[in-house]
Structure 1
């Protein structure tokens, strides 16, 4: 990562002037977080750009940032200011960016030519050499029960099971040069992460220098987005608890899209993605919904699940018995684990459950508050101030009176104390930020200590108790103290989900409070919920609409479209027009589905000026082509808007550039182009010979493509695709084409010719 000293003066000066203009003339507005929402990157990235600590990989996001600052300058009455015009001129930024990009390219080339480039590039690659990755606990492998024993390794001997064979096949394919994904899916403490750790061993023995990248700080999504573009061949991407990367909106879909691009890029192969998920998180990420919030994540994960069973059975139990003689930890697990739950026993699950069940009332209240926070939408790092303010609501008056003034200190000591070699019920979160380290504890857990969520120490609930709480407390509604404390102390990223959970349970006032706070922090989903819900209760009150229009960020774009629709239904035309103007000028054009929704709502709301402004930004040239289904939706939206020129431009882009490595995508695009009458582009797509390029590993997708090619009249493509089917093991599909069933009644020969008739007498 280059710093300011390494940059061209023109670029450095321009960055410094932009940062100073925003900080001084615009009073630090928009904030880094607001800019991040508009530009589509993380707040950390915005800060790095404005400090010149990082050079943007592409110019478009940088120009988006400049435009957003210009819009703020206009609102501040500085549009005619010469200083503003100088620092916010797009052409100046384009020249500076291009000059800096050339300088960096020349510098890298010179380093390579001087024999220094290899070492420089090696240091710049994300991750660390696999040979240096020696601590499994840094990769979140569970510690094993029992005190350390001299002469024994830190982890018990590994007993392979059936899923390890499947995982080994994936790793072998990566070692052979093909980028791969493995997603281990199972319950908490069943051995998912340990299996991934063991699977690394063959890569350690390779001649190639493999690396391991575990993006985790400052947050997992931010870390992943910051360096994904720099991941190079021979890298293991370690996504333990992959839901923390893929579920957050909108960053999760951005991460999924970049991972897909990485895996499909032969120039960056091989990379190996090792991910773990609980079954309910797998279901959330792979189930189609309306709107489809995880379409790209689903596409990334589809076909890569490796199920990890909860128990040891059959040959695994026999292997465990053989290994137990050399390791007392395995011997204890083999003897005492209930119903074959060996991995859970080794991870200390019985100890955790015993500690939980034996906890004093006030301590158990703290644990229940954490369980409820997690199951109702909070992230894994929970502010202790929230739990402390919520806990009294879980106690009877007698229990609260008996808890004593130091109950919180006693409770935190109980839940954080390790036992039998495993971490406690809560684990303190080390952020590296002094204000997040516990130097004192609240003395009045019911409130009044002035601790804000961003300053409160953070704790993580043990995974197994998190999972246990989701089932054991599924029918419980937390007390009012929980919701009041959530509104004041929960992390801002969790407020919208908590508000949704409150509304779903009939707690309308608490839901509105949480959604209002979430809207204050820019959450467009929460803003939409605030408008829709309060409009049903107070149809003539436009305060929620005013609040939403003024505070909602422009990301994710689809949520903005939903918010605009809500404002229209609420009759808040003034607020709708204000938000529409902002969205038309600055919203990201990456998502074709969202652009379609915006076109529709702007047209139905009668905001023609804003509709024209959005179209003037040429969405057809900017939307992503990763999801052909969304592209076809936009094609139809452009046709309905009468924008034939944009429709043609998008159809030409899609036909020329959509990936041919997914038969479903090709089928969808063929159908979409035909529906909008883009016959020329259908011909262009077929000219790329998709039948010769699509993979044949998904039988139903291939069948759909065959039907799509037939409907398009592409008989040559049907024939070409049919010729590839037998070798791929799809002869049943092959004989369903044309007269193949009759011609190949007796099968075919290895050279592809028709087999001659044969009978029983021809068999030896």
Structure 2
């Protein structure tokens, strides 16, 4: 039944009422406060005030309007005459009564038809899902444990009925965002994807469970346990309305042999009508791997990238903010929830979710195992950690763990091993910590009861811990040998082969690649071809590159083209590169163009570059500019830069403008800029403005920057603000920075905070910094903290750094920066403590700083050990040592 004109006007007035609330009353009367009074959820209040739906009860609506009117009177808000009618409760009652009466009259005529249609759809759905292992069922029939929610820590061993502890849920900012999204989807009748992104054990699954239970309590939920079950479910047809598709740990569906098929099917599901919600939880690193466009590498996840990039993920923070922790302690005390009390008391850095899931205790259990027989368990856990961080996501067979373990043990530990050492190791690794989690978990059978024999999976929290603490270590030889002999030839084996190659383990990389290539895994074929090429066997390498290309490896196709090029077969090389470009990969064309350029064939290079540009790749022109500029071919560089500018990428011309200006060739700069300035190209306007500023013509510089800024160019707005600041117009600069913050600009926020502080408004700077943090801008508090530190307020600055870190807004390298500040002040002990913390958080730069601090302390041996085992940013073995 469509909406009447009266209903549309009613919803429009609800939106106006919501706008009035947000403009005048939100600070004193937030939605959560109104929700408690009216006994509904905050998302329901939000849905009403955004005009998404009409309240069912007129008394509730009248109470809401009365509450808003009373708050406006209390605050002395001058109500515009046009909005006065919006605060008349009786008028809303009358309008609501008319709409409900009309709905009842029209609805009665459709009841029988609707019931018949619903019955038919229900019968069709039952028939479609009859043969499926995983079927939709009422949310009330699902337990949080079945959906993957971690049980919480508990104080004493419970009885059998209390094995699964679920503490009281504490809502945070991301909860409100998620619930608003679910309520909007339910009201709009659409199919929507919701992605909850975060690190291990941060509460992603619990967040999703509580939101669905609150916002969609009457819906059905379906949870496919495997990617095969998901594909079967989606193949049965569109999901029924009012269904939640639950994809906990979505990487298990999207990464692997059938991951792209699953992603494509999910994209098709999103095209159907709803309301249907697809909820996916995903680790941050997996989300990054699945959504980044590969640069010069094979594109393995095009469908997953298109799926995930279609929505903005909702981030679940690693830690509670200091404000959250204070509120949590109050809630825990008032509710007498022992789990919350323990977590609130033992989580000084805000890692409450991890504490609840016993993550730290699990790490402690692992780290303290130094003597037999516990050390044997630690050895197999460490082997599993190394496998996971180097790219192995599948289950680990017992044979691999047993064969890898010796390299993680000392001679004395191995000498004390008994014949049943591996059984002892498995028992240690399988021990439940706090009755919640074990280091190695068994893999359930895909159907039926029980677990797969001799197959294990590493606990999520330990996998996360390994990436932070073992990133700088190369596994021992026993690990690589065990991988070559006992890991099955699946795509993950190619990831290990690549990791071995990056660490200089070429022999084992070839062994692993050969095993992966034996089952025609494309990347395994490519890696084996590289190994053959490295050994000088170019004939075998070319054949393997060809096989890899035939099975979809873009890099295999590229290397095959390069070999043909090097053999003088230019026509075949170009044909292969064009074939790749037709398939959407321009990298081979670009590489051949650069090869021709370096061999002196400029015409051939430019011809291939034009082909690449038609296929969507203009990066090659940038390389041609650089090559020609370095050989002093100014005209050739300028020609390549103009080709980029003509295609809409003028940044290389801007680079040439800068070099011309530095050389004093201002007349040529004007000639280069003229056509683009006339066309209003922002970079050209900014470059000419810079030239006018240098020559002292500030008025023209401002005019040019204003023209660029009017196009929404953030860099131009920032440069214009700097000119205002330099001329003493602080208010103008603050206004421009404020406009940038409205666009979510990080530079805008940091500049606004910095300039406000420099202007003497310390309270204003701190308020802005906290607003930036609340808006999710990572450098609000940390920027202000750095300024306070320089001003001598070290204790205050450190507290602000800590607040930023606990809120998840401080990157690891900021800890390193803070350590460097202490080092400069001579406080070496504190500098080393912070550097160690940054190393534990995964900042590679902190390792070098820590080594330098050890040198300054006279501990050269420890410093050299630190650098010897460190890795460069590209993953290669660090060659430098500290002397």
Number of the residue aligned with 2:312 = 304
Query: What is the SS of the residue equivalent to 1:419?
Result: coil
Number of the residue aligned with 1:336 = 346
Structure number, greater radius of gyration: 2
Structure-2 separation of matches of 1:329 and 1:112: 45
Q: 1:243 to 1:131 in 2, by over 3 A?
A: closer
**Aligned pair 1:287/2:292, yes or no?**
yes
Q: Which of residues 190, 213, 219 is equivalent to 2:202?
A: 190
Does the 8 A contact of 1:381 with 1:459 survive in 2? yes
Number of the residue aligned with 1:168 = 179
Query: What is the SS of the residue equivalent to 2:340?
Result: helix
Structure-1 separation of matches of 2:131 and 2:553: 33
Does the 8 A contact of 2:440 with 2:456 survive in 1? yes
Q: Which of residues 499, 509, 526 is equivalent to 1:501?
A: 499
Query: What is the SS of the residue equivalent to 2:146?
Result: helix
1:211-610 to structure 2, matched below 5 A, reads 211-217=220-226, 220=227, 222-229=228-235, 230-232=237-239, 233-248=241-256, 251-263=258-270, 265=271, 267-290=272-295, 291=297, 292-302=299-309, 303-312=311-320, 313-315=322-324, 317-324=326-333, 325-359=335-369, 360-432=374-446, 457-492=454-489, 493-538=491-536, 540=537, 542-546=539-543, 554-556=550-552, 558=554, 561-562=557-558, 564-565=560-561, 568=564, 593=583
Structure-2 separation of matches of 1:346 and 1:340: 11
Structure-1 separation of matches of 2:568 and 2:528: 13
Query: What is the SS of the residue equivalent to 1:482?
Result: helix
Structure-2 separation of matches of 1:113 and 1:352: 52
Does the 8 A contact of 1:127 with 1:211 survive in 2? no
Q: 1:735 to 1:326 in 2, by over 3 A?
A: closer
1:20-35 to structure 2, matched below 5 A, reads none
CA apart distance, 1:352: 0.4
Q: 1:293 to 1:473 in 2, by over 3 A?
A: same
Query: What is the SS of the residue equivalent to 1:138?
Result: coil
Query: What is the SS of the residue equivalent to 2:201?
Result: coil
**Aligned pair 1:158/2:169, yes or no?**
yes
More helix per residue: 1 or 2?
2
CA apart distance, 1:119: 3.6
Number of the residue aligned with 2:723 = none
Q: 1:520 to 1:316 in 2, by over 3 A?
A: same
Task: Give the TM-score taking structure 1 as reference length.
Answer: 0.55
Q: 1:567 to 1:227 in 2, by over 3 A?
A: farther
Structure-2 separation of matches of 1:387 and 1:572: 49
Structure-1 separation of matches of 2:554 and 2:546: 15
Does the 8 A contact of 1:528 with 1:548 survive in 2? yes
Number of the residue aligned with 1:661 = none
CA apart distance, 1:281: 2.1
- 1:592-639 Cα deviation digits (max 9, x unpaired): 63588899999xxxxxxxxxxxxxxxxxxxxxxxxxxx99966999xx
CA apart distance, 1:152: 10
CA apart distance, 1:510: 0.7
CA apart distance, 1:272: 1.5
- 1:128-167 Cα deviation digits (max 9, x unpaired): 2133542222222111112447789841111111110011
Q: 1:320 to 1:148 in 2, by over 3 A?
A: farther
Structure-1 separation of matches of 2:378 and 2:358: 19
Q: 1:153 to 1:357 in 2, by over 3 A?
A: closer
Q: 1:389 to 1:172 in 2, by over 3 A?
A: same
The runs of 5 or more residues in structure 1 that have no matched partner are 1-110, 440-456, 603-629, 638-670, 673-705, 708-730, 737-764
Structure-2 separation of matches of 1:321 and 1:112: 49
Structure-2 separation of matches of 1:114 and 1:474: 53
Does the 8 A contact of 1:145 with 1:347 survive in 2? yes
CA apart distance, 1:305: 1.5
CA apart distance, 1:554: 4.6
Q: 1:119 to 1:495 in 2, by over 3 A?
A: closer
Does the 8 A contact of 2:389 with 2:466 survive in 1? yes
Q: 1:181 to 1:118 in 2, by over 3 A?
A: closer
CA apart distance, 1:296: 3.7
Number of paired residues? 478
Does the 8 A contact of 2:198 with 2:204 survive in 1? yes
Structure-1 separation of matches of 2:313 and 2:223: 20
Q: Say what the alpha-carbon RMSD is for the aligned residues.
A: 4.4
- 1:91-111 Cα deviation digits (max 9, x unpaired): xxxxxxxxxxxxxxxxxxxx9
- 1:539-589 Cα deviation digits (max 9, x unpaired): x45345556666x5954363663464366468699xx99xx9xxx9xxxx9
- 1:502-532 Cα deviation digits (max 9, x unpaired): 0001111111111111100111122122213
Q: Which of residues 99, 107, 128 is equivalent to 2:136?
A: 128
CA apart distance, 1:192: 0.8
Does the 8 A contact of 1:592 with 1:633 survive in 2? no
Query: What is the SS of the residue equivalent to 2:583?
Result: helix
- 1:49-73 Cα deviation digits (max 9, x unpaired): xxxxxxxxxxxxxxxxxxxxxxxxx
Structure-1 separation of matches of 2:363 and 2:712: 56
Q: 1:436 to 1:391 in 2, by over 3 A?
A: farther
> Highest relative contact order (Cα 8 Å, sep 6+), 1 or 2?
1
Structure-1 separation of matches of 2:613 and 2:138: 43
Q: 1:128 to 1:165 in 2, by over 3 A?
A: same
CA apart distance, 1:482: 0.6
Number of the residue aligned with 1:29 = none
Query: What is the SS of the residue equivalent to 2:259?
Result: helix
Q: 1:215 to 1:151 in 2, by over 3 A?
A: closer
Does the 8 A contact of 2:589 with 2:612 survive in 1? no
Number of the residue aligned with 1:38 = none
Number of the residue aligned with 1:178 = 190
Q: 1:512 to 1:435 in 2, by over 3 A?
A: farther
Structure-2 separation of matches of 1:273 and 1:434: 26
Does the 8 A contact of 1:380 with 1:461 survive in 2? no
Structure-2 separation of matches of 1:567 and 1:226: 43
Does the 8 A contact of 1:524 with 1:555 survive in 2? yes
1:657-668 to structure 2, matched below 5 A, reads none
CA apart distance, 1:286: 2.7
Q: 1:228 to 1:545 in 2, by over 3 A?
A: same
Does the 8 A contact of 1:593 with 1:633 survive in 2? no
Structure-1 separation of matches of 2:231 and 2:588: 26
CA apart distance, 1:235: 2.9
The runs of 5 or more residues in structure 2 that have no matched partner are 1-117, 593-610, 619-645, 648-679, 682-708, 715-883
CA apart distance, 1:245: 2.6
Task: Give the TM-score taking structure 2 as reference length.
Answer: 0.48
